[in-house]
């Protein structure tokens, strides 16, 4: 049965603007009092590449939406914050939650994170594809070979703190892909020394494009029982007198039956990267040239297989990591034991 609404009589307002102000002010004040500030962002990485595989007679060309992300973060109190990020992976064509973390920050020396996030690991994992200086990240068998639940992340709890030039982090995480009824725990830790400028926060960059003079060395390790993985990474970046910027980055990693790019196979390897950002403004950006070489040895039952990866980039930096274009050439070879490939393409990254 439908009920009737009785009319409500309200005294007339002499000025519409005055009424609007009276109505809007309490609602605005209520929203500010109850809703925490929220930061919203997004990122996209897309590419067009031509690949020549040694085992195929023809070259293949593909346009790809490599990655798309939505970022959400905010503060609940001065000491409690949250972060929630999603990722569309072009390879899997799937949308996943990559970060869902509660962050308790009491000082530079005392920070506790719980949820899903990047665990203590190598620098390459802690900057990821959106904050690396080169396009072909995670192609060399060295970078971020640690085991993870999704996109470099694991579920767990961690402490991190900054003590002068020293940044430390350690935590306990569920073993990726393991039966949750078991008691196995993945332990992870990292120590980093910043001898020049300090890198604030937990997450890192692969470059600062001249905003910092950086000389940093990091050591990381993870373990599940007797299975272990560890790495040593290095980043030097210096702004020169002519306003150009030089970057040198390297890493050595060993995956002792934990992680690695081939399941159940021991491997170790290294890479070295060098780049130069030209000081001259060309149009709306600056050009950067970059070269990277990596070598990894996989210890197979049939014998060792060496993977070598060579990459060259011509980058056009418009607004640091928020807008850049990369011409890239990536060559991979497996010492004749397996087919390799050569890829040439152009990549675009934008963030907001």
206 vs 333: CA distance, rounded Å: 25
Question: Is 189 part of any domain?
Answer: yes
Instruction: Examine residue 97 and state whether it is found in any structural domain, yes or no.
Output: no
Residue 80 lies in a domain: no
- Evaluate whether residue 296 is within a structural domain: yes
What percentage of the chain exceeds 70 in pLDDT? 88
Residue 227 included in any domain: yes
C-alpha distances (whole Å) from 318 to each of 3, 9, 46, 223, 247 are 62, 60, 16, 41, 18
Kindly tell me if the per-residue pLDDT of 179 is higher than 50.
no
The pLDDT score that the predictor gives to residue 90 is 80
Q: Per-residue pLDDT tens for 126-162?
A: 999 999 999 999 999 999 999 999 999 999 999 999 9
Q: Show the domain range for 260.
A: 108-351
Q: Is residue 223 part of a domain?
A: yes
φ, ψ of residue 200 in degrees (nearest 5): -75, 150
Residue 79 domain flag? no
CATH at 141: 2.40.160
Domain membership of residue 88 (yes or no) is no
Domain count, the chain: 1
By C-alpha distance, which of 75, 74, 79, 76 is closest to 106?
79
Check residue 13 and give its pLDDT. 37
Number of Cβ within 10 Å of residue 93's Cβ equals 8
pLDDT over 80 at 103, yes or no: yes
**Residue 293: predicted pLDDT:** 98
More confident residue, 119 or 182: 119
Q: Which of 57-66, 247-256, 323-332 has the lowest mean pLDDT?
A: 57-66
């Amino acid at each position: 049965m439908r009920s009737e609404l009785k009319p409500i009589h309200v005294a007339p307002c002499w000025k519409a603007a005055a009424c609007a102000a009276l109505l809007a002010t309490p609602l605005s004040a209520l929203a500010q009092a109850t809703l925490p500030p929220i930061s919203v962002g997004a990122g996209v990485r897309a590419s067009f590449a031509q690949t020549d595989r040694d085992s195929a007679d023809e070259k293949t060309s593909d346009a790809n939406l490599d990655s798309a992300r939505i970022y959400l973060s905010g503060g609940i109190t001065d000491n409690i914050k949250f972060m929630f990020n999603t990722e569309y992976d072009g390879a899997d064509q799937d949308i996943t939650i990559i970060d869902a973390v509660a962050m308790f920050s009491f000082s530079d020396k005392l920070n506790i994170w719980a949820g899903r996030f990047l665990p203590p690991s190598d620098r390459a994992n802690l900057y990821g594809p959106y904050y690396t200086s080169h396009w072909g990240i995670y192609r060399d068998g060295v970078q971020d070979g640690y085991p993870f639940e999704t996109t470099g992340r694991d579920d767990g709890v961690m402490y991190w703190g900054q003590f002068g030039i020293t940044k430390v982090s350690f935590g306990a995480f569920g073993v990726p892909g393991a039966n949750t009824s078991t008691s196995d725990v993945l332990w992870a830790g990292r120590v980093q020394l910043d001898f020049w400028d300090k890198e604030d926060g937990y997450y890192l960059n692969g470059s600062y494009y001249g905003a910092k003079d950086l000389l940093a060395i990091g050591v990381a390790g993870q373990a599940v029982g007797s299975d272990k993985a560890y790495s040593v990474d290095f980043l030097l970046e210096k702004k020169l007198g002519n306003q150009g910027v030089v970057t040198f980055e390297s890493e050595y990693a060993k995956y002792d039956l934990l992680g690695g790019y081939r399941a159940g196979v021991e491997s170790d390897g290294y890479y070295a990267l060098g780049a130069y950002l030209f000081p001259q403004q060309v149009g709306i950006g600056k050009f950067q040239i970059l070269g990277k070489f990596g070598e990894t040895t996989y210890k197979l039952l049939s014998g060792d297989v060496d993977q070598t990866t060579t990459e060259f980039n011509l980058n056009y930096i418009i607004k640091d990591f928020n807008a850049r274009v990369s011409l890239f050439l990536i060559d991979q070879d497996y010492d004749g034991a397996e087919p390799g490939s050569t890829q040439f393409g152009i990549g675009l990254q934008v963030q907001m």
